[in-house]
């Protein structure tokens, strides 16, 4: 499933790449020419959620689409809405109605769960400082959300509030690993039965001026962390404020950590990583120019697989 070209979503055959169906929902969204894709989420029951938004206002629209035919089953217009993710069992989460009320002007937003028929099942309003709302970190049995002011794991009513500093979280049940960039160092916290039991900092990823992009995955029986990490440094370019640097695959378990550097030609930004049995698939984008460009300039995209023996 690919979302691109403003309001277009396409389904492709995984083996041949042939287009199975294509929907242009630009007109349905009602945003005009400046329509942008807000992502695609697989609900796990033959339905996908597709989000569209526009830079012309705070309005966004969520669509539920039949994955086999491309038929639109349901849609809803939201104010400052964002598609956050799914539990893979027929429900998905969005954030909406972001406000900065006085006197503190701290941001708040609604976080809602819908089923694949578009029925709202649950809503909670949380304080938050992130521009697009709190991050949905993981969804094992209930959703884990970063929340403003939270410093430790705090179970709530229908959700778990996680420390606002956490950037990534991978869980199997209530055990796994959390990733945080603190003072330009990459910190890893191990979680067991819903509590932090250990912490470590990767020394080779410290002292980075613009932070680290991390893509964590659980391996083995869930007690081993496989991490794709790429460091960023600041740049003086008007439209190129950060530069992607070295990247590595890191394996972490109770016995220690091992790092395997990745060789990338020129500046190439890793955009995603997925672990399959025996292989790791990466997506990355080559930065062919650091100049300010318009939306018609195409940056080459690579999808490549690396052998991962024993994973």
Alpha-carbon span 301 to 115, nearest angstrom = 33
How many residues are listed for the chain in this entry?
A: 311
CA separation for the pair 107, 128 (Å, rounded) = 5
Angle at 231 between CA 228 and CA 236, to 5 degrees: 150
Say whether 29 sits in a helix, a strand or coil: helix
| pLDDT tens profile 95-154 | 888 777 677 666 778 899 999 999 999 998 877 655 445 688 999 989 998 877 788 898
Per-residue tokens: 3: 């979302």
Closest alpha carbon to 234 in 290, 304, 302? 290
For 146, other C-beta atoms within 10 Å of its C-beta total: 22
Domain assignment present for 116:
yes
Q: Is 206 a member of any domain? A: no
The per-residue pLDDT string of the chain (311 residues; one tens digit each, 9 = 90 and over) reads 676 666 788 888 877 878 898 888 877 766 666 777 778 899 999 999 988 887 777 888 899 999 999 999 999 988 888 889 999 999 999 988 877 767 766 677 889 999 999 999 999 887 765 544 568 899 998 999 887 778 889 888 889 988 888 888 999 887 899 988 765 677 888 888 888 888 887 765 555 566 788 899 998 777 889 999 888 888 777 787 888 888 999 888 877 788 889 989 889 999 999 998 889 999 999 998 888 877 677 788 898 999 988 77
What are the structure tokens assigned to 161, written together?
Answer: 């509030």
Q: How many domains does the chain have?
A: 1
> What CATH number does the domain containing 2 carry?
2.40.128.630
Q: Tens of pLDDT along 241-272?
A: 888 888 999 888 877 788 889 989 889 999 99
Helix ranges (H only) for the chain are 26-29
Helix (H), strand (E) at residue 176? strand 175-182
Residue with tokens 């629209």: 61
- Report CA-CA distances (Å) from 222 to 28, 49, 193, 311: 42, 28, 12, 11
Cα separation of 192 and 66, whole Å?
Answer: 37
The answer to whether 230 touches 245, Cβ cutoff 8 Å, is: yes
129 belongs to a structural domain: yes
Whether 106 is covered by a domain: the verdict is yes
Residue 141 falls inside a structural domain: yes
The tokens of 229 are what?
Answer: 């990490």
Domain span at 4:
1-164
Peptide bond into 28 cis (omega under 30): no
Are 146 and 138 a contacting pair, CB within 8 Å? Answer: no
DSSP letter (8 states) at residue 106? -
Position 149 in a domain: yes
Which residues on neighbouring strands pair with residue 243, listed in sequence order?
233
Question: What is the CA 7 to chain-centroid distance, rounded?
Answer: 20
Answer whether residue 236 is part of any domain.
Answer: no
Q: 140 burial class (0-12, 13-18, 19+ CB within 10 angstroms)?
A: middle
* Residue tagged 């394996």 (tokens): 251
Structural domain includes residue 209: no
């Amino acid at each position: 499933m690919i979302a691109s070209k403003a309001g277009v979503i396409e389904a492709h055959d995984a083996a041949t790449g042939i287009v199975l169906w294509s929907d242009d929902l630009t007109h349905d969204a009602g945003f005009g020419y400046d329509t942008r894709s807000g992502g695609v989420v697989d609900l796990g029951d033959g339905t996908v959620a597709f989000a569209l938004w526009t830079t012309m206002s705070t309005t966004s629209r969520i669509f539920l689409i039949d994955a086999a035919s491309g038929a639109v089953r349901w849609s809803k217009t939201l104010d400052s809405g964002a598609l956050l993710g799914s539990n893979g069992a027929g429900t998905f989460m969005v954030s909406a109605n972001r406000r900065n009320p006085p006197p503190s002007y701290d941001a708040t937003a609604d976080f809602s769960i819908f089923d694949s028929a578009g029925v709202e099942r649950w809503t909670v309003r949380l304080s938050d400082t992130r521009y697009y709302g709190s991050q949905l970190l993981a969804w094992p049995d209930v959703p884990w959300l970063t929340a403003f002011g939270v410093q430790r794991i705090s179970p709530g009513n229908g959700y778990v509030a996680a420390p606002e500093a956490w950037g990534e979280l991978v869980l199997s049940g209530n055990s796994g690993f959390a990733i945080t960039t603190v003072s330009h160092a990459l910190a890893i916290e191990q979680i067991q039965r819903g509590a932090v039991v250990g912490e470590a900092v990767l020394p080779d990823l410290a002292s980075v001026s613009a932070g680290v992009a991390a893509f964590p995955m659980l391996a083995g029986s869930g007690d081993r962390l496989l991490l794709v990490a790429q460091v960023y440094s600041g740049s003086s370019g008007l439209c190129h404020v950060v530069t992607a640097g070295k990247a590595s695959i890191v394996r972490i378990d109770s016995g220690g950590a091992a790092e395997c550097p990745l060789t990338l030609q020129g500046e190439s930004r890793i955009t995603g990583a997925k672990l399959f049995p025996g292989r790791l698939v990466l997506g990355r984008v080559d930065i062919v120019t650091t100049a300010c460009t318009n939306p018609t300039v195409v940056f080459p995209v690579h999808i490549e697989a690396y052998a991962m023996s024993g994973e």
